[in-house]
Amino acid sequence: MSNIVLARKYRPQNFQEVVGQQHVTKTLANSLKLGIYSPAYLFSGPRGVGKTTMARLLAKALNCVKSPQICNECPACREITSGSSLDVLEIDGASNRGIDEVRALRDNVKFAPSTLRHKVYIIDEAHQITGAAFNALLKTLEEPPAYITFILATTEPHKIPATILSRCQHYNFHLLTIDQIIGTLKDILTREKIIFSEDALREIAKAARGSMRDALSLCDQAIVFSNRNITYQAVSDLLGLLPQEAFYQIVENIAQQENKKNLQIIEKIVNDGYDLIQFSQGLVDIFRAMLLISLGVENPELTAEQKIHLANLSKNFNPAQLIRILQILTRTLDELHWTTNQQILLEISLVRIAEPYAAITELLKRLESPAPSTTKTQQIPAQPTFSQPAESEKSETAALSGDYFRLWEELLKILGQKRNYTLIQIVRQVNPVSFVNNTLKVICPGKFTYDGIIRNQSTIEQLLKEISRQDIKISPEQKSLVKPIETTSAPKPVTAEKTPEPELELTGGIPTEEENTAPDLVAPSEAVKKVLNYFPGKIKSENKLK
């Protein structure tokens, strides 16, 4: 029995064993061969990709008797491997971040190494060091004694001061690919005589997100959980993964706009105790894979069976739709981490995803090309009867009405990226209602919102131009979308004769008697008909899309 985890037991002991960082190992090996090396190095990259391991290997290479090779047999190599060397000091930047600790380190630099040729300081999580402490280290980094080498490791290089960066050789470590992680896991598990399936290792590699240390930690858990027989089902149970069929069913329901079925699936997922954040990440991965397939890009994360299934599903969507879905899902995934009701947020997102959608540029082209108008001599019946709209007209109307909100959502997204939170609060209260002659009419619910839109009108119009690549003007109007209906007496049935003036104001749809002579008469949409069924009103004016 051993309490040494796989990540420590199989830590690379020379440059050749390092996986996925050949650009670093090759450069360091060549510099040691030529005898040209820096007094200070900065290793940056995500967690678990080999930064500290590479720092120890560099310390070995500087002190090995067979330098620039690493023999792992000489006293220097053995001491560094065991962590007992007095001349290779590993310092935690998080707990030694103050100026007093750095001053003590600077004073110790004066002393020569006790047994090795080079004295190496490895400072992990270097970004945690304070600004004053970094300033105290500047001169030492720039002109250290010939026997001193500093190696700084960090996951956040942007927090390192520029004065420190300019004094270091900076090496950026990459995330490992799925195949690189699977290959390493296969080798280690074979040496450990563990039974495994490749599908199980693929799920572990995907869950590790490019981190070899995370993959090995998951492997440790899987070995114990599965009693040394790592199967796909065991890994799925360990990671709490939903069956792939659940994701496929969600995608099919979205394509068919089956919101009820999707909400039932979400309810079952919650009742079964699955993590909604993990489920949302799985949805993002599925739609990303479908986007890559639709664009003809190879995806190594998928099995052959998954590629066939997702290729069939991707036929229901075009790239613009997949991009929109991914934007909604990634935003939802981010919001799920802080919301108090994850289920409601996810349900709303799935319903929004299933809405009809058309790209903004496509809709703008359609709006700029008006349909041929009827001739002035054409007879219009005094009391027109409206037939049921065709399916194509329904989808087009839905897409057009949704497009204004889509344009407004893109505006909110850009404002969020620019961190203009004041304007975001104003824009969120505004409702776009029509688009005519490149002018977007918006309704402001109150004077404060209206004044805010007027003050920022030029900024909003410039952002809309960046989004749509068109000169779009906005026309703000201050009023409530729906006014309260006074009910002093029982409502009278609506007859063909004179009807009372309605309190409800709507745009588009059934024309008034004065408008019956207009040449551009159109049938009301299904949405307008439904509104008229619930509210005792009539259409006051009509804004036709052109």
In a domain, 33, yes or no: yes
- CB–CB of 329/346 below 8 Å? no
- Structure tokens given for 71: 């023999």
In a domain, 462, yes or no: yes
In a domain, 263, yes or no: yes
Could you say which of 135, 157, 172 is where a domain stops?
Answer: 172
Residues 156 and 300 in one domain: no
Residues 14 and 158 in one domain: yes
Spatial separation of the C-alpha atoms in residues 61 and 64, rounded to whole Å: 5
Spatial separation of the C-alpha atoms in residues 59 and 53, rounded to whole Å: 10
- CB–CB of 211/185 below 8 Å? no
| H-run or E-run covering 365 | helix 360-368
In a domain, 275, yes or no: yes
- CB–CB of 241/336 below 8 Å? no
In a domain, 374, yes or no: no
Residues 139 and 55 in one domain: yes
In a domain, 221, yes or no: yes
Residues 163 and 21 in one domain: yes
Give the residue ranges of DSSP H helices in 89-197. Answer: 99-108, 131-142, 162-165, 178-191
Going from the C-alpha of 179 to that of each of 173, 202, 299, 318, 476, the distances in angstroms are: 17, 8, 11, 29, 55
Could you say which of 117, 145, 172 is where a domain stops?
Answer: 172
Residues 57 and 123 in one domain: yes
What's the pLDDT score for residue 513?
A: 42
Give the CATH number, domain containing residue 316. 1.20.272.10
Domain span holding position 509: 482-487+496-546
Residues 14 and 159 in one domain: yes
Give the CATH number, domain containing residue 428. 3.30.300.180
Spatial separation of the C-alpha atoms in residues 438 and 457, rounded to whole Å: 15
Q: How many domains does the chain have?
A: 5
Q: What angle do CA 455, 460, 462 make, to 5 degrees?
A: 120
Residues 473 and 432 in one domain: yes
Partners of 475 in beta bridges:
441
Residues 399 and 455 in one domain: yes
Could you say which of 479, 505, 525 is where a domain stops?
Answer: 479
Residues 141 and 188 in one domain: no
Residues 140 and 193 in one domain: no
For the chain, residues with pLDDT lower than 50 are 1, 373-402, 481-522, 545-546
Spatial separation of the C-alpha atoms in residues 192 and 175, rounded to whole Å: 25
Residues 15 and 162 in one domain: yes
Q: How much of the chain is in helix, strand and coil states, percent to nearest 5?
A: 50, 10, 40
The answer for residues whose C-beta is within 8 angstroms of residue 391's C-beta and 6 or more apart is none
Give the residue ranges of DSSP H helices in 10-118. Answer: 22-34, 51-63, 75-82, 99-108
Of 412, 405, 409, nearest to 426 by C-alpha is 412
In a domain, 163, yes or no: yes
Spatial separation of the C-alpha atoms in residues 472 and 438, rounded to whole Å: 5
Spatial separation of the C-alpha atoms in residues 294 and 276, rounded to whole Å: 27
- Torsion region of 181: left, alpha or beta (phi above 0 gives left; psi -120 to 50 gives alpha): alpha
In a domain, 213, yes or no: yes
3-state secondary structure of 356: coil
Residues 229 and 261 in one domain: no
What's the pLDDT score for residue 364?
A: 56
Q: pLDDT, tens digit, for every residue of 411-469?
A: 888 888 877 777 887 888 888 888 787 888 888 888 888 888 898 988 898 888 888 87
- Tell me the HSE value of 207 on the side-chain side, using a 13 A CA sphere: 21
**In terms of pTM, does the model score above 0.85?**
no
